[in-house]
Amino acid sequence: MLTTLFRIIKNGFLSFWRNGWLSMATLSIIILALLVFEGIIIFNILTKTALTALQDKIDISIYFKTNTPEDEILKTKKSLETLAEVKNIEYIPRDKALEIFKERHKNDSAISQSLEELQDNPLLASLNIKAHNPKEYVIISGHLDEASFKGWFEKVTYAQNAVVIERLGRIIDTAQKGGLILIIFIALIAVLVTFNTIRLAIYSNREEIGIMRLVGASNSFIRGPYVVEGIIYGTIAGIISIAIAGPVIYFASPYIKIFIPEINLWSYFASHLFTFLGYQLLFGIGLGIISSSIAISKYLRI
Amino acid sequence: MIIFQNVSKFYNNNSHQTTALEDASFTINSKEFVSLVGKSGAGKSTIVKLLIAEEKPTNGRVIFGSYDVNKIKQHELPQLRRRIGVIFQDFRLLPNKTSFENVAFALEAAGRLQSDIEEFVPQALEMVGLKDKMFNFPKELSGGEKQRVAIARAMINHPDMIIADEPTGNLDPINAWEIIKLLIKINELGTTVLLATHNKEIINYLERRVINLENGRITRDEEKGKYILV
Ligand SMILES: Nc1ncnc2c1ncn2[C@@H]1O[C@H](COP(=O)(O)OP(=O)(O)OP(=O)(O)O)[C@@H](O)[C@H]1O
Ligand SMILES: [Mg+2]
C-alpha cells in the first residue's frame, strides 16, 4: 500500500519532469488562470471597499429650527430609530456643529474671523440618518414627510440630493450584480482553459495510458501519477502567481489609493499573504486534480 | 486453458466493414506451445487483442482460465492481464521510461516489492542481452532492442501465458533463435506460449501445434504442423 503510494508519487514527479515543455506550457496556463483568480479577488476587495465608502457618504440630515427644544429632537431620534430601514442616527447639537465647522475651517482666517464676530451660534442642530441600503432613503424620506414632528424641521437634505442619492443607489446595485456576473464569466473561462490544457496534455499521453492498462496496471495506479502531477501544477502555479502578483500590487498600490483612499492594497495584501496563498493553492490544486481526473477517465476504458 | 467459441470480429470504419476474424473456434491447453500462422492481415493480432480484452469480439465467447474475457469486470481486468505476458508486434513501450523502468513497470503495477524489482529487472534485461542499455529510453534503442525490452517486460511477471506477436520480426537470425529458444525454455518450465509468426524456418523447427489463419478463418489446426503458405 505504502510502496504503491510512493510509486504513484514518484511516477508523478518523473512524468512532470520528463514531459518537459509540455509541463511548462500547462503550468504557464494554470499560472495565468490563477492570476485571473487573484485579479478577481482583488477587484472584489476594491469594489467592495469603494462601494462601502460611497454608501457611507450617503445620508439624510434633518436640520431643526433654532427654537426646537432638545427634548423634541431626541424624541424624533427615538421614533426614527424604530424604522427598520434606519441603520443609525447621529445627533449633532448646535455647539457640536459649530465645533466641527470651526475645525474644518481653521485654516481659513476669513471664516474664523467672521465667526468670532458673531455673538450667536448660526448653526442648526441636526440628526444624521444612515440607512442600511442606499435604496431605502426614499422610504425614510417618505416617513419624514408624514411625521407629526415635521413642524420642527428647518430643512431635510434628502429633498435636495434625492436624484443623486437615488442614482447612486442604482449604480451601486448594478455594479454589484454586474460585477458578480462578470466574475462568474471570467472565472468560468479560466477554469475551462485550464481544464482543456490539462486535457490536451493527457490526450497526448493517451497511448501510454493504453499501454499501462494492457500490461496490467489498475486504473488507480495509472490515474494516481496524473493526480500527483495536478497537485504539482497547482502548487507551483500558486506560488508563482503570488510571486508575480506581489510586486505588481506593490507598485500599483499608490495609484489605487488615489481613487480609493480608504484602502492600502499593498498592506492588505501583505497582511493577508497566507490567505491569498491558501486560496491560490486551493484553486490551483483543486483545478489540477479535478481536470486530471476527469480528463484521464476517458482513456481508462481499454 | 483458453477457449475461443465461434468468435468473430468485424471492424466498422466509415461504413466499410472489415472481417478480421470469422467464426473461430479452438482450445489451447495449459502448458501448450501453439503457433499462429497466416498472411499479413489474416487475423493473428486480432486473436491476441481479443484475448487480453483490448478489443471486444463481435460474436462468440473468449475464455481464459476462470475468466469470461468479454464479461470481465473493470477491476478484474488488470488481474487477467498480469497473468498474460504480451510481446506486442509494435512493442508498446512507454516512451518516457527507460528500458529498466519499462520492465519494472509491470512489476510495480502488480504491486511487487522494490527489492524484487531491483533483483529481477536487471536479470531479465541481461537475459535478452540488454544489460548495457538499461537506462536508455526507447527512442535511443534500435527496433530489435525495443523488441527485446518488450520480451523482458512480458516475461518478468512469470505469467501463466506468454503471447508473442511476431517477436522476431526485427531481429537478426542469431537473436531471433535466442528468443525462440527462450520461449521454448519458458514453455518447458510450464508456461503456455502462443506465438504468432510468418517465419517458416521457426515453425518447421518447432514441430509443435500450428493454427493456420486465412482471411480471418481457421483453415488448419494440426499437432506438429508445418508451415504451409497457400
Ligand atoms: N482497428 C482496426 N480497424 C479496422 N480494421 C482493423 C483494425 N485492426 C485490424 N484491422 C483489420 O483486421 C484484419 C486483421 O488484422 P490483424 O492485425 O489481426 O492481422 P495480422 O494477422 O496480425 O497481420 P500481420 O501479420 O500483418 O500483423 C486486417 O485486415 C486489418 O486491416
Ligand atoms: Mg499482427
Check: CB of residue B171 under 8 Å from CB of residue B153: no
Q: Grade residue B228 by pLDDT with cuts at 50, 70 and 90.
A: low
Q: Which residue has the cell 502548487?
A: A235
Q: Grade residue B136 by pLDDT with cuts at 50, 70 and 90.
A: very high
Q: Grade residue B161 by pLDDT with cuts at 50, 70 and 90.
A: very high
What would the pLDDT profile of B52-111 be if each residue is shown by its tens digit?
999 999 999 999 988 998 888 888 899 999 999 999 988 899 999 999 999 999 999 998
Dihedral sign, Cα of residue A195, residue A198, residue A204, residue A208: negative
B24 or A40, higher pLDDT: B24
Average pLDDT over residues A185-191: 85
Mean of pLDDT over chain B? 90
Chain B hits for A208, Cβ within 8 Å:
94-96
Q: Is the pLDDT of residue A159 over 70?
A: no
Q: Is the pLDDT of residue B33 over 90?
A: yes
pLDDT (0 to 100) of residue A42: 85
Q: Grade residue A41 by pLDDT with cuts at 50, 70 and 90.
A: confident
Q: Grade residue B205 by pLDDT with cuts at 50, 70 and 90.
A: confident
Chain B hits for A213, Cβ within 8 Å:
77-78, 81
Q: What is the DSSP string of chain B?
A: -EEEEEEEEEEEETTEEEEEEEEEEEEE-TT-EEEEEESTTSSHHHHHHHHTTSS--SEEEEEETTEEGGG--TTTHHHHHHTEEEE-TT----TTS-HHHHHHHHHHHTT--HHHHHHHHHHHHHHTT-GGGTT--GGGS-HHHHHHHHHHHHHHT--SEEEEESTTTTS-HHHHHHHHHHHHHHHHTT-EEEEE---HHHHHHH-SEEEEEETTEEEEEETT------
| Ligand (nearest to CA of B44) | 1
Q: Is the pLDDT of residue A18 over 80?
A: yes
Q: Is A215 on the interface with B (CB under 8 A)?
A: yes
pLDDT (0 to 100) of residue A160: 63
Query: Which range, A49-53, A147-151, A273-277, is most confident?
Result: A273-277
The residues near B230 (Cβ < 8 Å, ≥ 6 apart) are B214, B219
A149 or B33, higher pLDDT: B33
Q: Is the pLDDT of residue B230 over 60?
A: no
What would the pLDDT profile of A242-287 be if each residue is shown by its tens digit?
999 999 989 988 888 887 787 888 888 888 889 889 988 898 899 8
Check: CB of residue B107 under 8 Å from CB of residue B156: yes
Average pLDDT over residues B169-183: 85
Check: CB of residue A208 under 8 Å from CB of residue A14: no
Burial level of B210, CB count in 10 A (0-12/13-18/19+)? buried
In chain A, the residue whose alpha carbon lies closest to the alpha carbon of B52 is: A214
Q: Grade residue B25 by pLDDT with cuts at 50, 70 and 90.
A: very high
- In CATH terms, A59-167 corresponds, of 3.30.70.3040, 3.90.1150.10, 3.90.1300.10, 3.90.550.10, to 3.30.70.3040
Other Cβ atoms less than 10 A from the Cβ of A105: the count is: 13
Amino acid present at B135: F
Q: Which residue has the cell 478463418?
A: B217
Give the residue, by CA position, lying nearest to ligand 1 atom 30: B41
pLDDT (0 to 100) of residue B95: 92
pLDDT (0 to 100) of residue B229: 58
pLDDT (0 to 100) of residue B78: 92
Q: Is the pLDDT of residue B23 over 80?
A: yes
Q: Is the pLDDT of residue A131 over 80?
A: yes
Question: Are A217 and B78 inside 8 Å of each other by CB?
Answer: yes
For chain A, what percent of residues have pLDDT higher than 70? 98
Task: Specify the DSSP element, H or E, that contains A269.
Answer: helix A265-271
Check: CB of residue B49 under 8 Å from CB of residue B55: yes
**B149-172 CB burial, b ≥16 within 10 A, e <16:** bbbbbbbbbebbbbbbbbbbbbbe
Q: Grade residue A58 by pLDDT with cuts at 50, 70 and 90.
A: confident
Q: Is the pLDDT of residue A135 over 60?
A: yes
Chain B hits for A7, Cβ within 8 Å:
108
**Can you say whether residue A171 is alpha, beta or left, with left for phi > 0 and alpha for psi between -120 and 50 degrees?**
alpha
Q: What would the grid cell of residue B3 be? A: 477457449
Q: Is the pLDDT of residue A145 over 80?
A: no
**Pairwise CA distance, residues B9 & B69, whole Å:** 14
Q: Grade residue B26 by pLDDT with cuts at 50, 70 and 90.
A: very high
Residue A61 Cα distances to A91, A92, A253, angstroms = 10, 10, 35
Where do the CATH 3.30.70.3040 domains begin and end in chain A?
A: 59-167
Q: Write the residue in B79, B86, B95 that is nearest to A214 by C-beta.
A: B86
